[in-house]
Amino acid sequence: MESLLASASRSEDEDSSAGHNRSLSQGSGLIPKRRSSSRFIKRKKFDDELVESSLAKSTSRARGPSGSEQGRGSGSEPSSSEKKKDMLKGSALRTGVSHVSKTALTPAPHSPAPSPSITKRIKKSKQPMQVTKDLGRWKPADDLLLINTVLQTNDLQAVHLGVKFSCRFTLNEIQERWYALLYDPVISKLSCQAIRQLHPEAIAAIQSKVLFSKAEEQLLSTVSSTSQPTLETFQDLLSKHPEVFYVSRTAKSLQVHWQLMKQYYLLEDQTVQPLPKGDQVLNFSDAEDMLDDSKLRDTRDEVLEHELTVADRRQKREIRQLEQELHRWQVLVDSITGMSSPDFDTQTLAVLRGRMVRYLMRSREITLGRATKDNQIDVDLSLEGPAWKISRKQGVIKLKNNGDFFIANEGRRALYIDGRPVLSGSKWKLNHNSVVEISGLRFVFLINQELIALIKAEAAKMIQQ
């Protein structure tokens, strides 16, 4: 501390002598005055940085008179930043913060370089675990089913013959997988992690597929084939031998497996029926005669029979209604295209031709109007255009015995035949090429002259007879 105070006092004496020499040289005019900026420093520094930098400079000056002190002695004027550092240096020395200089002068301790063994260990931990080739074929469900079945049956060949995996595995592949699960730490770890991620419902479904062991089938075979066991019987069997049966076994699963064993004559009280040989082989007709038809008949379902009866009645009603409406289908609707097509055939008496469609009249009487759900008519004028002003039954066109067509207005609004109004309740004769206007919709009435001539001739013959 005393050495630092002595160096500081010495530097102050040197600064005063340098200032005196500088004033003499400027007064004599030998050295021009140096210009320096007097503005405030915009970039501020922290106090500790300023203190450390000033102390570091003071130590460098104390070591030797070279550097900036010699430059100043030659007549250069110190800058404002150097003045500020000198002032801060003096204040720091007065307050006795010498420990700051020690921390500034001593270099920061470097962190020891990691040993090569540690780096190797870090690299090894970052590398992914090596996985064998066939790990992708075996699903977590297959591994769980393999583990549970082998633990239950202790027979890999039975697992190969009786278990259905997601892929078709050979016996050799199943053996290799089982040994890998037992002795390969990588595969066993990955398999256990994947099995833990399975859903509980999936695990329950897999456990229900586990094969029955010989001990389980031996206990099931004790149930007589002639008896009619219920679920309670198999539940009692489960409760009496919990150490033999698998954890996921239920009374229903035991009943299903017992029925399967009974079907293949695997119960204790069943004897295997030998197959007939030679002349005793039954043909299809003999086997059919041996069957009891009463056992094949299904029980009568009254609800189903009632539904079938109601459906049959509904269909008959629809057929009867269609037969009654058959005579109403007296008009065929044909859309008009750009191609020229004949307007008449051997069954069409007249045609009511519009801009969009044409109505073929094939009976002596047809009705015109607007079709609704409650009212069905022969000629639906809404197919031609807007028909909200047209009555549901606007008019009737009839063919008389003498071959004349008449139209009767039965709607609220008037009709126009060739520009002449036909009021409600009135009739008017329709000629060939007559223009019929109904609430803004215009039609041309065309008559099949040849067919009408034949009708007139037949009517004349009947009159003469």
- Interatomic CA distance for residues 315 and 321, integer angstroms: 10
| Residue-level pLDDT at 373 | 81
8 Å CB contact between 395 and 412 = no
Residue 320 has pLDDT above 90, yes or no: no
Tokens in use for 143? 């591994």
Average pLDDT over the chain, rounded to an integer:
75
- Interatomic CA distance for residues 4 and 14, integer angstroms: 15
Mean pLDDT score, 309-334: 79
Mean pLDDT score, 65-71: 43
3-state class of 450 per DSSP? helix
- Interatomic CA distance for residues 163 and 209, integer angstroms: 8
Q: How confident is the model at residue 202 (pLDDT cuts 50, 70, 90)?
A: very high
Which CATH number is associated with domain 330-456? 2.60.200.20
| Residue-level pLDDT at 328 | 55
Give the model confidence (pLDDT) of 382-407 as tens digits: 888 888 889 889 999 999 888 899 99
Residue 105 has pLDDT above 90, yes or no: no
| Residue-level pLDDT at 266 | 86
Is the pTM value of this prediction over 0.75?
no
Give the model confidence (pLDDT) of 8-38 as tens digits: 455 555 555 555 555 444 444 455 555 655 6
Tokens in use for 343? 């307007």
Give the model confidence (pLDDT) of 326-366 as tens digits: 655 566 777 766 555 566 777 888 999 888 888 888 888 99
Residue-range domain boundaries for the chain = 2-31+42-105, 138-207, 214-263, 300-327, 330-456
| Residue-level pLDDT at 92 | 45
Specify which residues 429 forms β-bridges with: 406
Residue 65 has pLDDT above 70, yes or no: no
| Residue-level pLDDT at 175 | 94
Give the model confidence (pLDDT) of 401-418 as tens digits: 888 999 999 998 899 999
| Residue-level pLDDT at 459 | 80
| Residue-level pLDDT at 441 | 92
Distant-in-sequence contacts of 30-39, Cβ < 8 A, 24+ apart: 31/75, 33/77, 34/76, 34/77, 36/77, 36/79, 36/80, 37/80, 38/80
DSSP code of 382? G
Q: How confident is the model at residue 443 (pLDDT cuts 50, 70, 90)?
A: very high
Among 114, 92, 113, which Cα is nearest to 103's? Answer: 92
Buried b / exposed e along 401-436 (16+ C-beta atoms within 10 A): eebebebbbbbeeebebeeeebeeeeebebeeebeb
Distant-in-sequence contacts of 224-232, Cβ < 8 A, 24+ apart: 224/267, 224/269, 225/262, 225/267, 225/269, 225/270, 226/269, 229/255, 229/258, 231/255
- Interatomic CA distance for residues 62 and 76, integer angstroms: 20
- Show Cβ contacts of residue 362 under 8 Å, excluding neighbours closer than 6 positions: 330, 331, 332, 347, 348, 349
| Residue-level pLDDT at 337 | 63
More confident residue, 255 or 61: 255
Residue 173 has pLDDT above 50, yes or no: yes
